Amino acid sequence: MAIRVYKRTTNGRRNASVNLHSEVTKKTPEKSLLAPLVRGSGRNVQGKITILGRGGGHKRRYRKIDFRRNKDAVGANAAGAIVVGIEYDPNRSSHIALLRYPDGDLRYILSPKGLNAGDTIMSSADQIDPKIGNCMPIKHIPTGQALHNVEMEPGAGGRLCRGAGMCARLTNKEGRWATIVLPSGEVRQVSMECRATIGEVGNADHGNVVLGKAGRNRWLGRRPTTRGLAMSHHTHPHGGGSVSKGGREPCNHSGTFAKGGRTRRFGKSSDTRIIRRRKSKRYGQLKV
């Protein structure tokens, strides 16, 4: 049982639950892979608050994650990296795995579901066994496989499907492009030279945790938020002393819709490879 539900002893415990992190086998992080983490508290480079309700929280140290997976095994009889242990990472929803390579190099990767301490995994530019945790170019991965940490540009490092329980499905390979289905419902093409890791990201129970009290939100750096209706008219589109928002659809203080819809101001070059856009609450199933 990965989720423990508390008894209703107090108001803060009612309906609250906690993740037991049963997959974690290593308690202390590797010191050589730690870095300071400066908290911006929702402020930009000018010191102005651009994201409301951010600040405080527990002090954290960043774990350096190998999203590129470019330390390849060389030779037919090359040995892979051994999983030293599975660790908790306070900076992300997924767990991380510490790898030790034959030359003694240590690296962190996202821990996929089913990976255990003592397992051997590898990354290669050539075709290798498509088992959980192995990383290779998509052109060598059989169709139908579940993928995570998928690159959008060859050599740039994984960008897609990095959260807890996330995975993309490889559906088709044609020419220079492979088609994948993302958890949001978006169908897009990526280059066959892009690398991806086999399997689904672990710690899928992360989304089932109920915090139960406001204090646990503060531990995560989330401050109380004020309703837009309670603000003045020049602070929020919903403000101005009225008891209703005047029929205006929900939005944030800058006017961006809060219940689905498009949020990008300018198109990106990668948008041309989107076959079907994600499902949107505001516009329904968006199409290119």
**Domain ranges (residues) in the chain:** 3-206
What average pLDDT does the segment 50-67 reach?
Answer: 94
Distances from the Cα of 104 to the Cα of 78, 80, 97, angstroms: 15, 12, 16
Residues with Cβ within 8 Å of 276's Cβ and at least 6 positions away in sequence, in order, are: 185, 186, 187, 285, 287, 288
Q: What is the pTM of this model?
A: 0.87
Q: Is the model more confident about 261 or about 47?
A: 47
Contact 202, 92 (CB under 8 A): no
Tokens 């990095």 -> residue: 162
Per-residue pLDDT tens for 91-125?
999 999 999 999 899 999 999 999 999 999 999 99
Residue 61's nearest CA partner among 18, 32, 104, 94 is 32
Dihedral sign for Cα 188, 190, 192, 197, please: negative
Residue 283: pLDDT over 60:
no
CATH class of domain segment(s) 3-206: mainly beta
Q: In terms of C-beta distances under 8 Å and separation of at least 24 residues, what long-range contacts does 260-269 make, across chains too?
A: 262/286
